[in-house]
Amino acid sequence: MPQDQLTVRHWGEASYEDVWHAMQDFTNQRDQDTQDEFWLVEHPPVFTQGQAGKPEHILNLGDIPLVKSDRGGQVTYHGPGQLIVYLLLDVRRKKLGVRHLVTSMENAIVALLAAYHIDAYAKPDAPGVYVAETMGTENKIASLGLRVRRGCSFHGLALNVNMDLAPFLRINPCGYAGMAMTQCSALGGPHTIDEAQSQLVPKLADLLGYQHLDYTTEKLKL
């Protein structure tokens, strides 16, 4: 299996639990010849809580369901207008460390936003991507959460593109009380999922050493 080939699978809109269980199945069933994949997806409204999630960071779920996931990190929100990129990679075969994966995701998002003259940055003590402070407020635009099992990664990144940010007020995003969230469309960045993913995916793939991308909308039969 060539190490520089990657399948990019478009899921469209799909429930968090369906895609999460598909990621688990894919990871359990893959072998040394399975090609690495990115999965691109939008989720209906859902809160997800990572393995270390603390209940005090959930303020008011309201009518939005909560799913306790096996990814890292605390609680976050997913909804339409947010670009999700899941990284299903054989990190042992690719010789990628988790820190390199996280840094690559952050750097790809920062580079995407820089193309729109948006000043964004990562923080060593709080994974994700943030935009420059305005009037003393720091705003988060992308969240990260990974799981590595059997030498393979799944879960990934969530970039706020053009969505309803109000549900973030019902939680302490990623475990930070009062964390302000923002999105690309509010800052003069990409306004659609297609616009964002068409630029982000090649940047991230390149940073991880994939030169040949195979795009597909075929659903997996696991």
Catalytic, out of 174, 193, 200, 205: 174
pLDDT at 58 over 70: yes
Token look-up 């990019």 returns 8
147: annotated binding-site residue? no
Q: Active-site residue 174, yes or no? A: yes
136: annotated binding-site residue? no
Q: What's the rounded Cα separation, in Å, for the pair 105 and 87?
A: 10
143: annotated binding-site residue? yes
Give the pLDDT score at 174. 84
Give the pLDDT score at 108. 98
pTM to 2 decimals?
A: 0.95
Length of the chain: 222
Range list of β-strands (E), the chain: 5-13, 36-42, 46-49, 66-68, 75-78, 82-90, 120-121, 129-134, 137-149, 152-160, 180-181, 212-216
Token look-up 């997996």 returns 220
Token look-up 């199945």 returns 25
Considering only 102-111, 168-177, 204-213, which range has the smallest mean pLDDT?
168-177
78: annotated binding-site residue? yes
Question: Contact at 8 Å (CB) between 66 and 58?
Answer: yes
CATH superfamily of 5-216: Bira Bifunctional Protein; Domain 2 (3.30.930.10)
Give the pLDDT score at 135. 65
Average pLDDT over residues 1-27: 93
62: annotated binding-site residue? no
pLDDT at 1 over 70: no
